[in-house]
Amino acid sequence: MNTATQASAEYRGTALVTGASSGIGAIYAQRLAQRGYDLVLVARDRTRLDALAERITNETHRSVEVLDADLGERASLARVETKLREDASITLLVNNAGIGTHTPLIASDVDHMTRMIDLNVTALTRLTYAAVPGFVARGHGAVINISSIVGIAPEILNGVYGGTKAFVLAFSQSLHHELASQGVRVQAVLPGATATDFWETGGLPLAQLDSAIVMSAPDMVDAALAGFENRELVTIPSLHDVAQWDAFESARRAMSSHLSSNTPAARYHVTSR
């Protein structure tokens, strides 16, 4: 997209992007500004956020606000919730901030695991609760939740991380079920391995991964945004054969009407008293 196109992109409201100081979130911020969104950028590192805000403003002439906040800390999280509740220009929430690790469950520090849950689950949930009532009242708005392929393949990395991302997927599916008819769009994005600081931060250098399974962050975000524009509920940028997801989802839906019964399944040999 050239600068003239960027400057003339139709205004789409404001997107609040969490974890915008690096990696996937920083690319979302840039791409969304190019598509006509003003931005609120959220993360802890003010210096990196300010540098990104300046670059995006120069490139796109969109308004970019920076909110430095530790989303794992209740008082800072509350400031971002207030912003989402009170700023009616916000039309898109990108719940991207998250941390992961590859350490086995039993070898992991439980305090670190609960800090991961605080960020990946609690913050994402509270921010969604802060944003969605306004979207419903105004009859439009969207939430993009960054899950992960480990949400459906929890054996791949640390299981608490996989559990948090399974939560994000299930929460997104349920939000869509509840809110689609009220004008609120929801997308869960399930990236595979993506080349960002995530790996170094989580204790596994990117260089140790097979490059054939690692996507660049710009490619991942561009594919995810194409999925968003195609109104996908679940987007898996690295899954080439979408029929595999469709079969998985069809099997889940077909089973769902058989999951509750007054009689234990015959294989458990329970005789009612």
Binding site for ligand NAP (CB under 6 A): 19-25, 43-45, 48, 70-72, 96-100, 119, 146, 148, 191, 193-194, 196-198, 201
| Residue whose CB is less far from ligand NAP, 100 or 141 | 100
Q: What is the DSSP letter of 120?
A: I
| Residue whose CB is less far from ligand NAP, 37 or 161 | 161
Query: What type of residue sits at position 254?
Result: A
Query: Per residue, what are the HEC states of 217-236?
Result: HHHHHHHHHHHHHCCCCEEC
d(CA 170, CA 117): 15
Closest separation in Å from C-beta 263 to ligand NAP? 41
| Residue whose CB is less far from ligand NAP, 46 or 252 | 46
Closest separation in Å from C-beta 79 to ligand NAP? 12
Q: What is the dihedral of CA 136, 73, 78, 64, to 10 degrees?
A: -80
Can you tell me which residue has the tokens 């689950």? 121
Distant-in-sequence, close-in-space partners of 161: CB < 8 Å, separation ≥ 6: 100, 101, 116, 120, 148, 150
Three-point CA angle 123, 139, 26, nearest 5°: 40
Closest separation in Å from C-beta 174 to ligand NAP? 19
Query: What type of residue sits at position 39?
Result: L
Closest separation in Å from C-beta 69 to ligand NAP? 6
Q: What is the dihedral of CA 18, 21, 22, 27, to 10 degrees?
A: 70
| Residue whose CB is less far from ligand NAP, 171 or 198 | 198
Which residues are known catalytic residues? 161
Evaluate whether 34 touches 6 at the Cβ level (below 8 Å): yes
| Residue whose CB is less far from ligand NAP, 70 or 222 | 70
Three-point CA angle 129, 148, 134, nearest 5°: 20
| Residue whose CB is less far from ligand NAP, 179 or 204 | 204
Closest separation in Å from C-beta 194 to ligand NAP? 4
Closest separation in Å from C-beta 19 to ligand NAP? 3
Evaluate whether 91 touches 13 at the Cβ level (below 8 Å): yes
d(CA 217, CA 165): 18
Q: Which two tokens stand for residue 111?
A: 């305090």
